Amino acid sequence: MNEISISASIVTYNDGEKVLRCVKSLEKYTLKYPLKIYVFDNGSADNTVSLLKENTTAEIYENNKNLGFGAAHNLALQKPLGVYHFVINPDIEINDDVISDMVDYFEDNRDVVMAMPKILNLDGTEQKLPKEKPTFRRLFLGRLSKKIRGAYVWADREINSPTEIEFCSGCFFCIKTDVFEQEKGFDERFFMYLEDADLALRSKKYGKVMILPQFSVTHKWERTSAKSIKYLLIHTVSCLKFLAKRS
């Protein structure tokens, strides 16, 4: 293995089988660089913790309540991290050494501080995730207008080469650890949603934020805020906090 060390954090909440598949895929395919995986469980009531402890080498930390996405990921800042740090959702799976490939890209492009790969659905099609800076128009009117939403996520744009973006999705990205530490991680005022956009925009003062379409991961995207009133309200509150912070 190469001397460059890397780390990853995963936050779970009742995601037992999904996070087990995620971690095992990371362990199986990350071969070139040593990878330290931290899993922070937000008070799951299922068998998440026992599954991971019995079947993986990841370090598992149990929170006694649901701290939210950003606050739980920030616990990684209290642990030894690698030169590069990956933030990964429990519903992500990889089938090649995308972790090492992305690290190689960072090493060859020192002006890049944060990047995400192409995110794929289970059927191999691309998930069109936000890439522009969130605005009131994009966040709220985009729910009503396909045209506005399409511009926000570049729905009609084919990305075939590394491209600068404003917004790295929190489902899977890599960030230089010194930047992550300098910015003190995610803004914990966001319980869930938009903390990834906020971190990406703060990181841009150190260098480029990119999408790297030559690399890909699979994401079992459930769009909970589109299906649940509870999560829609959480999403709405985060949108308002984001706009207030950025106004």
Q: Give me the DSSP letters along the chain.
A: --S--EEEEEEESS-HHHHHHHHHHHHHH--SS-EEEEEEEES-SSSHHHHHHHH---EEEEESS---HHHHHHGGGGS---SEEEEE-TTEE-SS-HHHHHHHHHHH-TTEEEEEEEEE-TTSPBP----SPP-HHHHTGGGT-HHHHHHHHTTT----S-EE-S---TTEEEEEHHHHHHTTSS-TT-SSSSHHHHHHHHHTTTSEEEEEEEEEEEE----HHHH-HHHHHHHHHHHHHHHHHH-
The answer to whether 119 and 41 have CB atoms below 8 angstroms apart is: no
Q: What integer pLDDT is reported at residue 172 of this predicted model? A: 98
Closest CA to 217 of 3, 42, 10: 10
Bridge partners (DSSP) of residue 112 are 208
Residue 232 is which amino acid?
L
Model pTM? 0.94
Other C-beta atoms closer than 10 Å to the C-beta of 123 total 6
Q: Are 112 and 210 in contact (CB under 8 A)?
A: yes
Residue 219's CATH number: 3.90.550.10
Tens digits of residue pLDDT in 195-220: 999 999 999 999 999 999 999 999 99
Number of domains in the chain: 1
pLDDT at 3: 80
Please report the pLDDT score of residue 130 as a whole number.
94
pLDDT at residue number 224: 58
- Contact between 155 and 149 (Cβ < 8 Å): yes
- Inform me whether the pLDDT recorded for 1 exceeds 60: no
Query: What's the confidence (pLDDT) of residue 221?
Result: 75
Q: For residue 1, tell me if it sits in a domain.
A: no
Q: What is the pLDDT of residues 29-86, one digit of tens each?
A: 999 999 999 999 999 999 999 999 999 999 999 999 999 999 999 999 999 999 999 9
Instruction: Give the whole-angstrom CA distance, residue 222 versus residue 155.
Output: 19
Q: Are 10 and 73 in contact (CB under 8 A)?
A: no
Distances (CA, A) of 98 to 28, 93, 162, 212, 234: 12, 10, 15, 11, 32
User: Taking a C-beta distance cutoff of 8 angstroms, is the pair 75, 185 a contact?
Assistant: no
pLDDT over threshold 70, residue 223: no
Mean pLDDT of 135-151: 95
Q: Is the pLDDT of residue 242 over 60?
A: yes
Percent of the chain with pLDDT over 70: 97
198 is in which domain, residue-wise?
6-246
First-to-last C-alpha distance (Å) of the chain: 46
Judge whether residue 5 has pLDDT over 60: yes
